[in-house]
């Protein structure tokens, strides 16, 4: 069975909006090394529409080893509005929860999910994410809050580890408690 790993950038005050505006100064060897390790066991990306559209635009313009891996990797997109995709992506058809359960049941490597929005809330609600990697950046910014206002109830997470970068980023690796 495949694992779903969610990797999300978040500011100290919980903002997840526009990480392209505030995360750049912190990208260093530690950042790229951790990102590379996340990609090692990943066979495909799992994305919501907003993240998919932003990533497709940004990453399809890049080249190099990491970009080539990212661009060539299959992507699965959850969307109620898209009718077709590019960038080696397929829409999740039918009920998104069942589609994700089928993907998890397949043989293969991890499914890496970026971004946090309504799709993440759905995955959390149905307990489909196996690990969360919350990258807490030492910056304050306006924007939507991590998981925002939702009716998810209480969801306890178990700390699996933390990684601190010289830049001040702290990645909290967590898993849902049984």
Report the pLDDT averaged over residues 114-139.
93
* pLDDT at position 178: 77
Report the pLDDT averaged over residues 112-133.
92
Question: pTM for the full model?
Answer: 0.92
30-57 pLDDT tens trace: 999 999 999 999 999 999 999 999 999 9
pLDDT(152) > 80: no
pLDDT(155) > 70: yes
Percent of the chain with pLDDT over 90: 83
Per-residue pLDDT band at 146 (split at 50, 70, 90)? confident
Instruction: Note whether 137 and 28 are within 8 A (CB).
Output: no
């Amino acid at each position: 069975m495949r694992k779903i790993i969610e990797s999300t950038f978040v500011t100290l005050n919980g903002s997840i909006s526009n990480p392209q505006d505030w995360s750049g100064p912190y990208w260093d060897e530690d950042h790229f090394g951790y990102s590379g390790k996340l990609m090692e066991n990943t066979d495909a990306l799992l994305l919501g529409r907003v993240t998919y559209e932003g990533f497709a635009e940004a990453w399809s313009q890049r080249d190099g080893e990491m970009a080539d891996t990212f661009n060539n990797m299959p992507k699965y997109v959850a969307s109620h509005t898209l009718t077709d995709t590019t960038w080696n992506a397929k829409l999740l058809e039918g009920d998104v929860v069942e589609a994700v359960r089928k993907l998890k049941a397949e043989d293969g490597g991890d499914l890496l999910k970026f971004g946090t929005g309504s799709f993440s809330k759905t995955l959390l609600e149905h307990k489909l994410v196996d690990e969360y990697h919350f990258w807490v950046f030492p910056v304050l910014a306006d924007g939507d809050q991590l998981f925002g206002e939702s009716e998810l109830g209480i969801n306890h997470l178990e700390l699996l580890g933390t990684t601190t970068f010289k830049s001040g980023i702290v990645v909290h690796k967590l898993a849902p408690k049984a």
